[in-house]
Amino acid sequence: MTQTLDVVQKPPPSRDERMATRSPLSRLLNRPEVGALMGAIVIYLIFFGVAEPFRSADSLSSVLYLSSTYGIPAVAVALLMIGGEFDLSAGVAVTSSALVASMFSYQFTTNMWIGVLVALVVALAIGFINGYLVVKTGIPSFLVTLGTFFMLRGLNLAITKQVTGNVGTNDVSDIQGFDSAKKVFASSFDVGGVSIRITLIWWIVFVAVATWVLLRTHLGNWIFSTGGSAASSRAVGVPVNRVKIGLFMTVGFLCWFTGMHILFNNNTVQSGIGLGNEFIYIVAAVVGGCLLTGGYGSVIGAAIGAFIFGMANLGIVYAGWNPDWFYFFLGALLLGAILLNNWVRKRAEAMR
Amino acid sequence: MTTATAESTAERTRAPLVRLVDAGKHYGNIIALQGVSLEVGGGEVTCVLGDNGAGKSTLIKIIAGLHKHDEGSYEVDGKPVHFDSPREALDRGIATVYQDLAVVPLMPVWRNFFLGNEVRKGVGPVSLMDIRFMKRTAKKELSDMGIDLRDVDQPIGTLSGGERQCVAIARAVYFGAKVLILDEPTAALGVKQSGVVLKYVLQAKERGLGVIFITHNPHHAYPVGDRFLLLKRGRSLGYYSKGEISRDELTALMAGGAELEELHHELERGGGALAEAAQEMEEDVKELGITPAGGRT
């Protein structure tokens, strides 16, 4: 008995001598977003080299604006993916929010902000229903949200046609409250002669808040653990179902925000837009180092992923390449990023 | 002198931390557990032994609050309880370390250690985790338990199976568990790793915790256990204190002396090489010092 149990223990030193082997480089390589960062730098340099117009500050501002419109929902999609779930309905939920706000205020001749708030309630409800169905049925979120994706797509078109007799909504720009709402969701300002869109600021705010929540609060701990192992989390008392529903509602919230931007940027909303954008959000999150199976990833990475998407999207135009090839490049980029991420993660593990 | 005697009397009369009397559980018409009694006090290790399907899991689930018993009684500190959730059992100081569910592999050790019990600074929505405190505490608690980690920031999945179990045990101890239920902590581990886990079982015992140690390995149970409950097909096959049973008897009971004997007869009838094997088996059975009837005490 004593033989088996008598293991010699050294007293632990205050500063572990084995830690010296871990360099700052290996620490950096352990960050989930490092693969995306390297990819972003390479793509930036390529376009900087080949596309003269890409080098101007205005172009960078345009790229950042485009990136932000995809990057904002991608923040929530990344959190959700870290929490172990998918949301395929996010792309059309953006459109749904914009349609609801626009049609509500127009049809009931209310202040624009009432429509905005009604849209918020609807978007949060969509997120709640997605989350509730996933946690209560145990059906993979891929299938549940595929279902709600088609339902929303149908509702967007059917209700819009029913209400407006058209596939798009009426112009809301003369409704009371439009101007103040536009200031919040779709204005721009000048910095040193370069026009900056306000979505960029909001994007940075959302990324900062989400990163802070993820890394510094107990909620972040719960998000990681829910995605990493829901059963283990439940066993130590983490309210896994509430975390998941909350994450789906966060996706709903940022879809609503993006929908409001689209509405106040364009004054009207076409009911068919947003299809396929859910994949862009997921691509941004995956390129940014989020593990498809959950439990690992970063919101900053997803932001870099969205930035890569924006650069590639506009860079092709600036470089004068045939834009028909864009989606081919996007797919290749995704595959490349996944391979790079895998490689980096394995390297990082080996360096420990 | 008098106080010492009074204390020891009080010690003796104090109700055990956990006591089951004739507990049973049905799932529909299937009797998963029947007439099982067990108790564990502070500083004691009660081992539950049994083969697959013996009812060990059902027993743990009752004690851990996942299922309610439908027969007999379940007492904690002498008071009958009916837990509705594992959280309630946890609040009464009964913590369960499941073999597969102990940790979240991709998360750092310190995050795992405090998962579900994060230490926060500040109040309300702006409450931050006290990361420095948690890292320091995790490191200290683990080194107190003899687990010397390079870095509490490494994903817990990079630790060995035994170390992971130990982190889970240390965590339960730190968060005030009075009774630890260990569900086959050594099942998936090698010899050396198992030794490490057994050491922590003893350490928990020395700290005054009650431990319910579930295993199918009598060689792991005997060195650390004070009491042994043997389960078979949902019933108690025997409940012994350490003085009443030797390691070999325990092994023989676990192996099922009667079954060995039966198998021996069957093999003997087969003739040839099978009969040879039967001969060997008979010697083994003799060596273990049991008769088929001995298994039924």
Query: Closest to A237 (Cβ–Cβ): which among B103, B116, B127?
Result: B116
* Inter-chain residue contact B223 with A1, CB threshold 8 Å: yes
Transcribe chain B into DSSP letters.
-HHHHHHHHHHHHSPPSEEEEEEEEEETTEEEEEEEEEEE-TT-EEEEEE-TTSSHHHHHHHHHTSS--SEEEEEETTEE---SSHHHHHHTTEEEE-TTTS--TTSBHHHHHTTTS--EESSGGGPEE-HHHHHHHHHHHHHHTT---S-TTSBGGGS-HHHHHHHHHHHHHHTT-SEEEEESTTTT--HHHHHHHHHHHHHHHHTT-EEEEEES-HHHHHHH-SEEEEEETTEEEEEEEGGG--HHHHHHHHHTHHHHHHHHHHHHHH-THHHHHHHHHHHHHHHTT--GGGGG-
Residue A12 has pLDDT above 50, yes or no: no
How far is residue A348 from each of residues A100, A204, A227, A344, measured CA to CA in Å?
47, 28, 21, 6
How far is residue A217 from each of residues A184, A251, B205, measured CA to CA in Å?
28, 19, 34
- What is the token pair recorded at B39? 């108790």
Angstrom distance (rounded) from CA A153 to CA A272:
8
Q: How many CB pairs under 8 A join A and B?
A: 94
Residue A237 forms contact with B (CB below 8 Å): yes
Angstrom distance (rounded) from CA A318 to CA A47:
8
* Inter-chain residue contact B199 with A5, CB threshold 8 Å: yes
Backbone phi and psi for residue B35, each to the nearest 5 degrees, phi listed first: 60, 40
Tell me how far apart the terminal alpha carbons of chain A are, to the nearest angstrom.
Answer: 35
Q: Does residue B148 contact residue B156 with C-beta atoms inside 8 Å?
A: no
State ipTM: 0.81
Residue A19 forms contact with B (CB below 8 Å): yes
The alpha carbon of residue A9 is apart from the nearest alpha carbon of chain B, in Å, by 7
* Inter-chain residue contact A221 with B115, CB threshold 8 Å: yes
Residue B1 has pLDDT above 50, yes or no: no
Residue B136 forms contact with A (CB below 8 Å): no
In B, minimum Cα distance to A226 occurs at B104
* Inter-chain residue contact B129 with A216, CB threshold 8 Å: yes
* Inter-chain residue contact A231 with B114, CB threshold 8 Å: no
* pLDDT tens, residue by residue, B88-136: 888 888 888 887 766 888 889 999 999 988 888 877 666 788 899 999 9
Q: How high is the pLDDT of residue A197?
A: 95
- Write out chain B residues lying below 8 Å of A231, CB-based: 100-101
Residue B5's Cα: distance from chain center in Å? 32
Residue A242 forms contact with B (CB below 8 Å): no
Backbone phi and psi for residue B236, each to the nearest 5 degrees, phi listed first: -80, 130
Q: How high is the pLDDT of residue B30?
A: 84
* pLDDT tens, residue by residue, B154-203: 888 888 777 888 888 888 888 888 898 988 888 777 787 788 888 888 88
Residue B100 forms contact with A (CB below 8 Å): yes
Q: How high is the pLDDT of residue A13?
A: 44
Bridge partners for B213 per DSSP: B47, B182
Residue B5 has pLDDT above 50, yes or no: no
From the list B132, B104, B105, B109, the residue with the least C-alpha distance to B120 is B132
Query: Closest to A224 (Cβ–Cβ): which among B96, B103, B107?
Result: B107
Of A277-281, B10-14, B212-216, B270-274, give the range with the top mean pLDDT. A277-281
What is the average pLDDT score of chain A? 88
Per-residue pLDDT band at A137 (split at 50, 70, 90): very high
Average pLDDT value for residue range B73-83: 88
Q: What is the CA radius of gyration of chain B?
A: 22
Q: In this structure, which amino acid lies at residue A237? A: G
Residue B293 has pLDDT above 50, yes or no: no
Residue A21 forms contact with B (CB below 8 Å): no
Q: How high is the pLDDT of residue B4?
A: 45
Question: Which residue in this structure is represented by tokens 């829901």?
Answer: A230
* Inter-chain residue contact A228 with B104, CB threshold 8 Å: yes
Question: Which residue in this structure is represented by tokens 């997921």?
Answer: A282
The alpha carbon of residue A314 is apart from the nearest alpha carbon of chain B, in Å, by 36
- Chain A interface, best mutation among B96, B106, B198, B219, by max A CB count within 10 A: B106
- Write out chain B residues lying below 8 Å of A17, CB-based: none
Comparing A232 with B279, the larger pLDDT belongs to: A232
Angstrom distance (rounded) from CA A315 to CA B77:
71
Query: Closest to A225 (Cβ–Cβ): which among B104, B120, B195?
Result: B104
- Write out chain A residues lying below 8 Å of B137, CB-based: none
- What is the token pair recorded at B69? 């018993």
Helix (H, G, I), strand (E, B) or coil at A270: strand
In A, minimum Cα distance to B112 occurs at A225
Bridge partners for B129 per DSSP: B120
The alpha carbon of residue B53 is apart from the nearest alpha carbon of chain A, in Å, by 22
β-pairing verdict for A194-197 and A188-191: antiparallel
Q: How high is the pLDDT of residue A2?
A: 39
Angstrom distance (rounded) from CA A38 to CA A45:
11
What is the DSSP code (8-state) at residue A168? B
* pLDDT tens, residue by residue, A297-351: 999 999 999 999 999 899 988 988 888 888 888 888 888 877 877 776 666 555 5
Q: How high is the pLDDT of residue A347?
A: 65
Residue A349 forms contact with B (CB below 8 Å): yes
Angstrom distance (rounded) from CA A224 to CA A294:
8
Angstrom distance (rounded) from CA A298 to CA A302:
7
Q: How high is the pLDDT of residue B285?
A: 62
The alpha carbon of residue B34 is apart from the nearest alpha carbon of chain A, in Å, by 26
Residue A101 has pLDDT above 80, yes or no: yes
Comparing A238 with B101, the larger pLDDT belongs to: A238
Q: How high is the pLDDT of residue B262?
A: 67
Query: Closest to B116 (Cβ–Cβ): which among A5, A12, A236?
Result: A236
Q: Assign 3-class secondary structure to A153-166.
A: HHHHHHHHHHHHCC
Per-residue pLDDT band at A112 (split at 50, 70, 90): very high
- What is the token pair recorded at B241? 């204190």
Residue A224 forms contact with B (CB below 8 Å): yes
The alpha carbon of residue A114 is apart from the nearest alpha carbon of chain B, in Å, by 27
Q: How high is the pLDDT of residue A10?
A: 45
Angstrom distance (rounded) from CA A69 to CA A20:
43
How far is residue A10 from each of residues A16, A94, B113, B149, measured CA to CA in Å?
12, 59, 22, 12
Query: Closest to A229 (Cβ–Cβ): which among B104, B148, B154?
Result: B104
Angstrom distance (rounded) from CA A34 to CA A29:
6
The pTM of the full predicted model, rounded to 2 decimals, is: 0.81
Average pLDDT value for residue range A268-280: 93
How far is residue A259 from each of residues A95, A114, A168, A183, A200, measured CA to CA in Å?
6, 15, 14, 15, 15
Q: Where is average pLDDT lowest: A295-304, B48-57, B250-259?
A: B250-259
Per-residue pLDDT band at B294 (split at 50, 70, 90): very low
Burial of A134 (0-12, 13-18, 19+ CB in 10 A): buried
Residue B150 forms contact with A (CB below 8 Å): yes
* pLDDT tens, residue by residue, A30-68: 778 888 888 899 889 999 999 888 999 999 999 999 999
Average pLDDT value for residue range A183-198: 92
The alpha carbon of residue A277 is apart from the nearest alpha carbon of chain B, in Å, by 29
Residue B248 has pLDDT above 90, yes or no: no
The alpha carbon of residue A338 is apart from the nearest alpha carbon of chain B, in Å, by 18
* Inter-chain residue contact B105 with A291, CB threshold 8 Å: no
- What is the token pair recorded at B190? 């090698």
Q: How high is the pLDDT of residue B287?
A: 62
Residue B159's Cα: distance from chain center in Å? 22
Q: How high is the pLDDT of residue B201?
A: 85
Q: Does residue B205 contact residue B44 with C-beta atoms inside 8 Å?
A: yes
- What is the token pair recorded at B217? 């390995």
Residue A8 has pLDDT above 70, yes or no: no
What is the DSSP code (8-state) at residue A167? S
For residues B237, B241, B246 and B248, what is the CA-based torsion angle, rounded to 10 degrees? Answer: 30
Residue A232 forms contact with B (CB below 8 Å): yes
From the list A291, A81, A237, A231, the residue with the least C-alpha distance to B114 is A237
Residue B283: CB atoms within 10 Å: 10
What is the average pLDDT score of chain B? 79
Q: How high is the pLDDT of residue A6?
A: 43
